[in-house]
Structure 1
């Protein structure tokens, strides 16, 4: 309130929620969302919390060691990170290495070889056959399918290794076929998880949505199994 009393031309908020408990934080987040709708001035929010940035921002910038890596609308940045490093800094759990095996602009397809199996992504003209790439898939792009749908494109058998439930939603981690060190993460409703028997050890089938797979240049820290050899730190700005 004191900051707004001076009628500033720009409002800078430097990690305003960092020392607050969860209930107070959510209450003030809602108030700030309403406030930004009524203010006719730019608001710059500095935060290390991805949820805050995604909820509040019209545009989000990822910084790493003082350098700007990518600026985009939150939905675009999270769905189409420009590099594996941006994907890591925005906590994308489904990030792996692969090799481009075929290209077809006519069918809007880039085929990549992952774990010795073909995986279809939308056409990415920037890459040539034989290029090493990283591929990123948001959790929303992983679809739990029924057994009779297991022959669909980009569908893999998997075994549930973990299910975490919170406020009606479940985050599920499952390893692919016999690759116990290769895990995919996806989110579903808790009621659906209970109805489908999604518990550790359950065998399921997962379809990876072709249009949701984003390819980025190869990163030496990312292998076929998604292993990360470094722990990056970064900063998000609205």
Structure 2
């Protein structure tokens, strides 16, 4: 198991507390410059934190505190990390096979044994026939597979992936997703993935940590993260479109500017009459052709067709709020939806998730 608890103030802030068990893929997501790559480099030993602790398989890799400073800091070689860089970092003057041999020099003395093991990893990546090609003779996806083979060649204790799929086309990316999924079963080591693509994190990761300005804001499985973000900043960063504000008091939510009051789950953590942010997932929304006591009027402002899926932008008559709803093309046709038409929106209060309302420059947004 990998355990990371870091606090760093210079040169780049980093406050992170994560665990990753063998076989788990843990994604780090956040905006550019948020500290995702800094976190990987610190775990690998390429950066030092100000204070904190890094452990892997009960071996202490790094420890430092305010009083005594750094007491333990293993070198990158001693930490045994497989690191896959965003730009591959292949040696341009070496063949694919020779690149994979590089990390084996200290652990496998005989050249013939190194080449044999490197060839096996290239075969495992599905590119064994490309062993004698130079990097400039390989496609982006092939270079990525060589780099992955090199990262895994010496059987590392953890695998660190720094936006490994960002520079390759969609079909190639899908093939690498499959390769990574197969490797996870066999390697049984912690895998940390840095990505800016939330869909990718949702597809691949068992858990996701959202990082903003060097601070880990929330760690959760993808479904929990997207449905129940910890605070409004997390909701913003994970791209939840239906995020609003209101006043919450003892299980009652008043939507700003609306007469509507929703009955929502009260966990007893928010004082009465507190301004809050709130979100509602897609399954909490439905449209109806006829009005009822559960619906509110909304006009259709825009419909974007994406194949068999349509994204509908609605504006409520009460409160003038914009809501995004997704539906199949068949559902749009059944309801007769078109721009300018007034329809009837139902919002399921039991699906509403309430969060603390924190402005972007309020440090309290990092807390619950």
Aligned 8 A contact 2:302 2:312 in 1: yes
Is structure 2 residue 194 aligned with structure 1 residue 53?
A: no
| 2:336 alignment partner, one of 178, 189, 197 | 197
What pairs up with 1:95-114 in 2 under 5 angstroms?
A: 95-100=243-248, 102-103=249-250, 110-114=251-255
1:27 and 1:197 map into 2 onto residues whose CA distance is 40
What per-residue deviation string (whole Å, max 9, x for no partner) do you get for residues 173-225 of structure 1?
10111544x2111211122112322222222112112222111112346xxxx
Superposition RMSD on alpha carbons, in Å? 2.0
In structure 2, relative to structure 1, the CA distance for the partners of 1:27 and 1:89 (3 Å cut) is: same
Q: Which residue is 2:174 aligned to? A: 26
Classify 1:188/1:39 alpha carbon distance in 2 versus 1 (closer, same or farther; 3 Å): farther
Q: 1:31 to 1:125 in 2, by over 3 A?
A: same
TM-score, normalised on structure 2? 0.54
Matched residues in 2 for 1:116 and 1:195: separation? Answer: 28
Moved more, 6-15 or 74-83: 6-15
Give the aligned partner of residue 161 of structure 1: 301
Residue 48 of structure 1, CA deviation: 0.8
Counterpart in 1 of 2:37? Answer: none
Pairing 1:94-133 to 2, within 5 Å after superposition? 94-100=242-248, 102-103=249-250, 110-114=251-255, 115-117=257-259, 118-133=261-276
Structure with the larger strand share: 1
Which structure ranks higher in relative contact order (CA pairs < 8 Å, sequence separation ≥ 6)? Answer: 1
State yes or no: 1:6 paired with 2:147: no
**The structure with more radius of gyration:** 2
Structure 1 residue runs of 4 or more that deviate by more than 3 Å after TM superposition:
none
Give the counterpart of 1:143 among 272, 276, 286.
Answer: 286
Residues 16-47 of structure 1 deviation map (CA, whole Å, 9 limit, x = unaligned): 11112233323333443343344311111001
Residues 297, 344 of structure 2: 8 Å contact kept: yes
Partners in 1 of 2:307 and 2:171 — Cα distance?
Answer: 14
**Contact 2:302 2:313 (8 Å CA) reproduced:** yes
Alignment size in residue pairs: 211
**Distance in 1 separating the partners of 2:184 and 2:340:** 46
TM-score, normalised on structure 1? 0.81
Q: 1:167 to 1:10 in 2, by over 3 A?
A: farther
Unaligned 5+ residue runs, structure 1?
Answer: 104-109, 222-228, 230-238
* CA displacement, residues 96-153 of structure 1 (integer Å, 9 cap, x when unaligned): 11012x42xxxxxx111112321222223111221111111123322223415x322x
- Say whether the 8 Å CA contact 1:140–1:186 is kept in structure 2: no
In the alignment, the residues of structure 1 paired with residue 214 and residue 334 of structure 2 have an alpha-carbon distance, to the nearest angstrom, of 47
Q: Which has the higher helix share?
A: 2
Mapped to 2, the partners of 1:191 and 1:38 lie a distance apart of 43
Q: Contact 1:144–1:206 (CA<8 Å) still a contact in 2? A: yes
8 Å CA contact 1:142, 1:185 repeated in 2: no
